[in-house]
């Protein structure tokens, strides 16, 4: 607003006084805003003619975006000058910087994950599933699992939640749709989520060796805030995919970051699946399978998904 003050100087004297008075009122209102009061605690307003590092125009934008963010309607309806961004006090200097909000950071993280993994191998109707759609379903047997999934999302705290879920049940019970709804809900809250169909994902990891992108992709799976492994137990395992892919990912995530699983197999049957790897002695397979399960079972809540077969009987 400094250019406004300059323009005022060229007005006739009477109008100039009125405009200066109005300009001063605006400045005073901005200075009384709670966000600016808090800012001035760290960086008091200069005196003795010193230049204020916070121009009035910047403070005006800062207060407006502060108000917008307090009643955030979501990224798609963000009212800030740059949607998903807001002026924020710099951490180490008297300045306001345009920074992405938590929702925007989550969106950017999601885009980066999609870049690193060619295909999530998840069908659109799964990824577009919502809790509203699932709750509207009349199958009362499925509802307890849906409620557990909704509770997980409601209670999730980034950096604090470490325990995941193991959704299991017969084919067509809606496990993947529940997981898809969880992915969507968490993403809307600004949480970076990666959901992959395990059989195809493991095949892609093999291709990554040739493309020399294996380590980069594994790092994405190790560090994403919520990882969803869909249909684990349906894959054809090898020693390499079990120990060097799944094992490495889960080793990094256990006790730190939650993982969601869907499977047709109860968790004990999953261990038997992990044991049955071609060209491996039975005793060695049992030990290595136990290692994998020690990275899964203690860190999930096991939830059975019941109800009729959606695929055969419709919703």
State pLDDT tens for residues 157-200: 988 999 999 999 999 999 999 999 998 888 878 788 889 999 98
Query: How far apart, in whole angstroms, are the C-alpha atoms of residue 57 and residue 4?
Result: 10
Contact 52, 30 (CB under 8 A): no
The count of other CB atoms within 10 Å of the CB of residue 3 is 8
Give the dihedral sign, CA 89/92/97/102: negative
Contact 8, 19 (CB under 8 A): yes
The count of other CB atoms within 10 Å of the CB of residue 23 is 15
Residue 15: strand, helix, or coil = helix
User: pLDDT truncated to tens, each residue of the chain (315 aa)?
Assistant: 455 555 555 556 555 556 667 777 888 888 899 998 888 888 888 877 788 888 888 999 999 999 999 999 888 899 999 999 999 988 888 889 999 998 888 888 777 766 544 346 788 888 888 899 898 876 889 999 999 999 999 999 988 999 999 999 999 999 999 999 998 888 878 788 889 999 988 888 888 887 788 888 899 899 999 999 999 999 999 999 999 999 999 999 999 999 999 999 999 999 999 998 888 888 888 999 999 999 999 999 999 999 888 777 655
Domain ranges of the chain: 2-100, 105-313
What is the per-residue burial (b if ≥16 Cβ within 10 Å, else e) of 44-72? eeeeeeeeeebebebbbbbbbbbeebeeb
Give residues with Cβ within 8 angstroms of 171, minimum separation 6. 264, 309, 311
Sort 254 into a burial class: Cβ within 10 Å, 0-12 / 13-18 / 19+: middle
Q: Residue 81 has what DSSP assignment?
A: S
Side-chain-side CA neighbours of 3 within 13 Å: the count stands at 2
Query: How far apart, in whole angstroms, are the C-alpha atoms of residue 135 and residue 179?
Result: 14
**Pairing, β 164-168 against β 300-304:** parallel
Q: Is the pTM of this model over 0.85?
A: no
Q: Residue 264 has what DSSP assignment?
A: S
Q: What pLDDT, on the 0 to 100 scale, is given for residue 45? A: 84
Query: How far apart, in whole angstroms, are the C-alpha atoms of residue 313 and residue 56?
Result: 64
The CATH number of the structural domain formed by 105-313 is 3.40.50.300
Contact 287, 255 (CB under 8 A): no
Query: How far apart, in whole angstroms, are the C-alpha atoms of residue 180 and residue 149?
Result: 10
């Amino acid at each position: 607003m400094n250019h406004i003050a300059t323009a005022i100087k060229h007005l006739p004297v009477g109008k100039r006084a009125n405009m200066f008075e109005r300009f001063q009122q605006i400045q005073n209102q901005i200075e009384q805003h709670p966000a600016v009061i808090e800012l001035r605690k760290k960086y008091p307003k200069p005196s003795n003619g010193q230049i204020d590092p916070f121009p009035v125009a910047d403070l005006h934008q800062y207060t407006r975006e502060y108000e917008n963010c307090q009643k955030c309607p979501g990224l798609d309806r963000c009212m800030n000058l740059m949607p998903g961004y807001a002026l924020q006090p710099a951490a180490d200097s008297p300045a306001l910087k345009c920074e992405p909000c938590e929702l925007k950071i989550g969106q950017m993280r999601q885009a980066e994950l999609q870049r690193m993994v060619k295909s999530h191998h998840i069908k659109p109707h799964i990824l577009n599933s919502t809790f509203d759609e699932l709750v509207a379903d009349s199958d009362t047997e499925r509802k307890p699992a849906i409620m557990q999934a909704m509770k997980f999302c409601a209670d999730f705290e980034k950096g604090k939640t470490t325990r995941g879920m193991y959704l299991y049940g017969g084919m067509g019970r809606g496990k993947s749709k529940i997981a898809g709804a969880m992915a969507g809900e968490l993403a809307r809250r600004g949480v970076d989520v990666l959901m992959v169909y395990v059989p195809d994902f493991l095949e892609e990891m093999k291709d990554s060796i040739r493309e020399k992108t294996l380590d980069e992709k594994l790092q994405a799976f190790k560090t994403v805030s919520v990882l969803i492994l869909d249909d684990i137990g349906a894959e054809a395992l090898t020693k390499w995919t079990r120990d060097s892919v799944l094992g490495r990912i889960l080793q990094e995530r256990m006790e730190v970051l939650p993982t969601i699983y869907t499977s047709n197999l109860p968790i004990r049957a999953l261990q038997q699946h992990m044991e049955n790897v071609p060209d491996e002695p039975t005793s060695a397979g049992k030990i290595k399978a136990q290692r994998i399960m020690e990275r899964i079972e203690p860190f999930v809540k096991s939830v059975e998904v019941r109800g009729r077969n959606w695929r055969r009987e419709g919703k």
